Amino acid sequence: MTHHATRYTTLNEALALYDKDIYELGEQADKIRTDYYGKKTFFNSNAHLNPTNECSDVCRFCGFSAHRKNPHPYTMTKDDVLARVDEIVSRGALEIHIVGAHNPRCNLQWYCDVFANIKKHHPSLHIKAMTAAEVHFLATTAGITFQEVLEKMAESGVDSMPGGGAEIFDEKLRKNICKGKVDSQGWLAIHRHWHKMGKKSNATMLFGHIENRAHRIDHLLRLQQLQDETGGFNAFIPLVYQKENNFLQVSEFPTGQEILKTIAIARIVLPNIPHIKAYWATLGINMAMVAQEFGADDLDGTIQKESIQSAGGSDSASGITKNELISQIKNAGFVPVERDTLYNEIHVY
Ligand code: V47
C-alpha cells in the first residue's frame, strides 16, 4: 500500500509537522484516511486473554504486573484458558488476543500446548498472540533463537502477532522505562522475521509519559523503514499512557490536542502501514470518536475483558458491546465495518 502524498523520511521534516496547527494536520491526515477508506471505520469482535500477570520484567509504566503495585498475582491453568476461550467464542469473538506477563512457569511448551488446544477446539478462531517482548523472553529462557520460537508459534496455531512491547524505541529512554525488556533492534528483528515467514503483525507506541516529540518521530520512522522492507504491518496503534498504579514519575500529561496531533502525524508519517488504530481502551471512547477525523480508521474491537490498560486506570475492564461500537461510529458520521483480524470485511453497517 502506498500513498502519493509527501513522504516524510527525516527526523527534522517529520518533527516539523508538530508545528502545524491542529486543523491543518487533521486535514492532511484525513485526506490519506479518506483516500484509503472513505468514511469506513473498522472494528472487530475480539476478546483479550492474559493468562498470567506474574512477571519477571521491570517496566516502570506497567500496573498489570503482579510483581509491582498489583497485589493479586494469578496464573491460569491450560484448562482455565480453554474454558475461557469456549466462553469467549460463545459470545461471538472471531479473534482471541493473547498476551501475558513474563512468567517462567508459562514457557514456550506451555504456550504451544495452549495454542494447539485452542485450534483443535476452535479451528476458525484467529489467534493473535505473543508480543515481540514475550518471544524474546521465551527464547532467552529456553536458550533458543527467536526464529525457533516464531516457527513453533506458527506450527501450533498462532495466526498473527499483536504490536505490544514496542514502547519507545529510543535506546536511552527505553533503558529508563523498561530496562531488561527486548531491545529496539530485537523488537524490529522479531517482526521482520515473522513478516518474512509470510505473517502479519501490528506495531504500537506507548506515549504521553516521559518521552518527547522527537522520540515519537524516531519511533515512527523506524517502523516506516521496516514496513518499506517487509510490508508486514497491518496496523499502527498509538497507546496513550495510563498513569495509575505504576512507578514511572510523570509530571505532565499530554493534552487532547497533543494526542490528536500524534495520531494525525502517525497517519501522515506511516502512509505505508494500512491502518491507524484509535485504541479506545487508552483514548476513551469520546477521544476515539474524534480520532476518526484525524487519520484513524480502526477502533480495535469489543475486547470483552481488558486487564492491562485498566490496571493503569483506564475505563476498559469489561470491554464494549458491538452495538455500542456500531452506534457510536454511526453517530459520529462514519460507516461501521466489522472486519476480521486481516481486515477482510465481514459486514458493513
Ligand atoms: O506493550 C502497559 C502497554 C501494551 C501501560 O496489536 C500501557 O492489535 C498504557 O500492545 N498505559 C499492550 N499502556 C497492549 C497492546 C495492544 C493493545 C491493543 C491492540 C493491539 C494490537 C496491541 O500495553 C504494552 C504496553 O505498551 N501498556 N502499561 C500503561 N500504564
Q: What tens digit of pLDDT does each residue of 106-133 get?
A: 999 999 999 999 999 999 999 999 999 9
Q: How many A from CA of 4 to the centre of ligand 1?
A: 31
CATH, range 11-341:
3.20.20.70
* pLDDT at site 316: 81
Residue 18 Cα to ligand 1 middle (Å) = 24
Cα of 221 to ligand 1 centre, how many Å?
Answer: 20
- Residue of 180, 176, 298 lying closest to 233 (CA atoms): 298
Q: What is the pLDDT of residue 115?
A: 98
Question: Residue 198 Cα, ligand 1 centroid: separation in angstroms?
Answer: 24
Task: Look at residue 3 in the predicted model and tell me its pLDDT.
Answer: 65
In this structure, the number of other CB atoms found within 10 A of the CB of residue 234 comes to 19
Ligand 1 site residues (CB inside 6 A) read 61-63, 162-165, 167, 202, 204, 206, 237, 239, 241-242, 246, 279, 282, 300, 308-309, 312
pLDDT of the residue at 83: 97
Q: Are 15 and 312 in contact (CB under 8 A)?
A: no
Name the closest-CA residue to atom 9, ligand 1. 241
Mutate to test the pocket of ligand 1, among 308, 320, 339, 340 (most ligand atoms within 8 A of CB): 308
Q: How far is the CA of 241 from the centre of ligand 1 (A)?
A: 9
| Residue nearest atom 8 in ligand 1 by C-alpha distance | 162
Cα–Cα distance list, 327 to 44, 237, 323, 336, 337 (Å):
14, 22, 6, 8, 12
331, with CB counted inside 10 A (0-12, 13-18, 19+), is: exposed
**pLDDT below 70 — which residues of the chain?**
1-4, 68
Give pLDDT, residue 144: 98
Give pLDDT, residue 131: 98
Against a cut of 0.95, is the pTM above it? yes
Ordered strands of the 233-240 beta sheet: 46-49, 95-98, 126-129, 160-161, 200-207, 233-240, 275-276
Look at residue 290 in the predicted model and tell me its pLDDT: 98
Position 305 scores a pLDDT of 83
